[in-house]
Structure 1
Amino acid sequence: MRTYMFRKASCGFSPGLRRFSDLKVTEHVPESPASARLTEQASLYVHWPYCLRRCTYCNFNKYIPKENNEDIMAKCLQRETETLLQLSQVSCITSVFFGGGTPSLTHPSTIAKILETVSKQVNLSDEAEVTLEVNPTPVGMSKLKDYHRVGVNRFSIGFQSLQDKDLKGLGRDHNSLDALQTLAEARKLCPGGVSVDIMFGRPNQTTELWSRELSEMLRVCDDHVSLYQLTLERGTQLFKQVQSGQVTMPTEEITAEMYQSARTTLQQHGFQQYEVSNFAKNNSESRHNLSYWTGKQYVGVGPGAHGRFVPLAEGGVTREARTQTLEPNVWIREVQQRGHGTRRRIQLGHLDLLEEVLVMGMRMTKGINHKHWQLFSPELSLLEIFGGSLDVQELLQKGLLILDDRGLRCSWDGLALLDSMLPVLLVELDRFFSQKLAAN
């Protein structure tokens, strides 16, 4: 059994749909007052590409800076933010997420400048969620007050592990004491607004060790936990270590046990699972990440960032998938020359958009309700598309999927098998959509 894990939902990468991003353009979503409202708002992701070192497992778009170019990077992030917000013509930004890389390497004034740029272009209310990813080093912790003072109201802290030996093996530049001290300081500043990332499936990790570590963390953590399954990525140092036999990874069966064990433990501690990897209590769900999973628009700024929005200023009527130039120096040059570093744009046809809504929505424990699906598919209901499928019926009979008056969602057991069920749902969506087009 393989669980369906993404390491991050922030948009330094395309969340969950890389294999569908190049599908041909079909028709656009039929316009309605409800769907029109989808273009009025967006969330904003800002990518800081720099780290002081590269972790052994990391294949994200990160770079080790050769010199301090924060001033020019800050100016370019401001300019691209301004350009893309004007292009989208959204009237409101509902949340901002500073990811990376290591955005906690930035000076607080850089964060302040970007937020000021947003406020000048659109409405950014005092209630908007503003998240900063924090590497729990003494340097990162020392700047938390200043980040909070300039507008950050949620911290996402990259614990990854509470075992110092494991942290060293993963190439992290903090220890468990650093992490705990950073958490304590963050909780003082943003009570109820602190999330902790922790990773399982690490080298030589057992289910028993994982359970003890998670229980230890839950004695001190705040109201939100993100679990990430460590996956081997080609080209990383960890991949080479495993290939050469220096390091042994847990089997898929063991990592599946770890995931199920963690879900149970978190539930016992009062956390409710609201997405494959995310757990919250006291209504502290990440509103920014929920915007991805519910198919809302988002604008991606910075090297390698991804976005999904309608370019209304250019007369656009369909949503585009946008990818910014990866390499920071090239991106900087492009932003200076033309105001943005968009390297690729793909118009999303109706089927493309429905695939995204399906894949992302099924990550949530509540799944996709009928009213929400209707925003994107007013002519094709969930019951029409999936109700008559024999393959879907088999999943329903096994108790892995639920299709009822509420909508379509995974059961408790099914959520752990989402990765294997999504192809069934996508094939059925494609088949039904093709038949509908042929009939018309």
Structure 2
Amino acid sequence: MSEEIIAAKKPAVHGWTPRALYIHIPFCTNKCFYCDFNSYVVEGQPVDAYLDALEREMELTVKALPPETIRKVFVGGGTPTVLNPVQMKRFLDSVARHFQVAADAEFTMEANPGTTDLEKLTAMREGGVNRISFGAQSFDNELLKAIGRIHEADDVIRSIENARKAGFSNLSIDLMFGLPRQTLKHLADSVTTALQLDLPHYSLYSLKVEENTLFHRLYERGELPLPEEELEVEMYQHLRDRLGAAGYTQYEISNFAKPGHESRHNSTYWHNEPYYGLGAGAHGYALGTRHMNIKGVQAYIDAAAAGLPRKDANEVSVREAMEDFMMVGLRLLDGVREADFKRQFDGAELEAVFGAELAKLSGQGLLERFGEGDSAGWRLTERGIPLGNEVFGAFLA
């Protein structure tokens, strides 16, 4: 399709008011060795002033773009559960004041094991949170220590018990693979313990060595003993086999769930839909524009006092939105549907835009076409699932 035709195909999502809300709490108990998220050790930080600034951004945001009913809320970090019970209540009350959150909305908060006692969990529950995602990473204490985590395996188990006592049933944990000196037995043992918790959702991520982390410095010096690529592939397949055998559906490259417990908020990203993004370093996407907020805590506080705390904002071109649609949508095991592409891009035909890429990836056995009519679309093959990044990158101009 020519650039002139693409330019005429305005994405329908550009006109949508977001129904999803992401809020960033940038504080944590410590900085893990692999972490490049916008996070800061909480000790000595102006947490209450940050919450003031966050509420100020909420006020300005709803004035600039009045929200409809919010269906999905995700509070990430950092570790949002480093807030004490009083701060937690104050924060959640401010969300309720500025956004109308549906009674049946999914309201997720990230948590680190050991940071959620019953008092705090009760404040979360009363404030509307109904889903918790715990960063377990591993159930091997030596591995946890080696990646800079300060919790131990028993802390995860106790945290899950506390959450259930407080009335939470929609719980998820993250596990990591491809860690330094991690063996397949390490991973298999962790999966066994994780499955004994009988949770409705599991997220399973391979280690990525990111810049500006301790692990990156060690990697540059040749001092980070990572598993060989073949072993990492074997680890990923082990995870898929074990979770599948236990009755979990792999609905996305890194996510497994029992029916009805798929992450609804993350589906916003995977379907390339708009969302509000609030807090230091947060990203948002609305009315065809992506923005990123100022990252530093004090810099964010100062900026919010003067207006919306934006670092930058960029209009998303139609071509870029199309590329995003394919790259994030193909992360889902159900793939992307041609009818959804046509709906988002004013009648544009998927194969008219990306025919060459689809033909090449199909020829390599990485993508397959499925369905007929409105149900037709494209998805990763079994061979393509572990090579997802190679597939996604093929849609970048």
The question of whether the paired residues in 1 share the 8 Å contact of 2:82 and 2:115 is answered with: no
Cα distance change, pair 127–112 in 1 and its aligned pair in 2 (3 A):
farther
Task: Tell me which amino acid in the other structure corresponds to 1:418.
Answer: G
Deviations 1:406-435 (A, max 9, x none): 2121122212111112233334xxxxxxxx
Alignment correspondent of 1:196? 173
CA RMSD in angstroms, aligned pairs only: 2.2
- Aligned pairs for 1:236-385 within 5 A: 236-310=213-287, 319-338=288-307, 340-385=308-353
Deviations 1:5-25 (A, max 9, x none): xxxxxxxxxxxxxxxxxxxxx
Alignment match of 1:81 (pick from 58, 64, 69):
58
Q: Give the share of equivalent positions with the same residue, in percent.
A: 30
The question of whether the paired residues in 1 share the 8 Å contact of 2:249 and 2:259 is answered with: no
Deviations 1:169-228 (A, max 9, x none): 111111000011111222344554101011110111122321222122111141100011
The question of whether the paired residues in 2 share the 8 Å contact of 1:86 and 1:121 is answered with: no
Alignment match of 1:416 (pick from 360, 374, 386):
386
Cα distance change, pair 352–74 in 1 and its aligned pair in 2 (3 A):
same
Per-residue deviation at 1:116? Answer: 3.7
SS at match of 1:99: strand
- Aligned pairs for 1:66-145 within 5 A: 67-137=44-114, 143-145=120-122
SS at match of 1:227: strand
Deviations 1:277-304 (A, max 9, x none): 1110031111111111111111111110
Alignment correspondent of 1:186? 163
Cα distance change, pair 161–124 in 1 and its aligned pair in 2 (3 A):
same
Q: Give the unaligned 5+ runs of structure 1.
A: 1-25, 311-318, 428-440
Alignment correspondent of 1:403? 369
Per-residue deviation at 1:149? Answer: 1.9
Cα distance change, pair 28–122 in 1 and its aligned pair in 2 (3 A):
farther
Deviations 1:150-183 (A, max 9, x none): 2110000010110111111111111000011111
SS at match of 1:126: strand
The question of whether the paired residues in 2 share the 8 Å contact of 1:273 and 1:280 is answered with: yes
Task: Tell me which amino acid in the other structure corresponds to 2:196.
Answer: R
Task: Tell me which amino acid in the other structure corresponds to 1:61.
Answer: N
Per-residue deviation at 1:123? Answer: 2.7
Q: Runs ≥4 in structure 1, deviation > 6 angstroms?
A: none
CA–CA separation in structure 2 for the residues paired with 1:383 and 1:245? 44
Q: Give the unaligned 5+ runs of structure 2.
A: 1-5
Per-residue deviation at 1:141? Answer: 6.1
Per-residue deviation at 1:37? Answer: 9.1
Deviates more, 1:107-116 or 1:55-64: 107-116
The question of whether the paired residues in 2 share the 8 Å contact of 1:138 and 1:178 is answered with: no
Task: Tell me which amino acid in the other structure corresponds to 1:375.
Answer: R
CA–CA separation in structure 1 for the residues paired with 2:323 and 2:51? 35
CA–CA separation in structure 1 for the residues paired with 2:119 and 2:138? 21
CA–CA separation in structure 2 for the residues paired with 1:410 and 1:63? 37
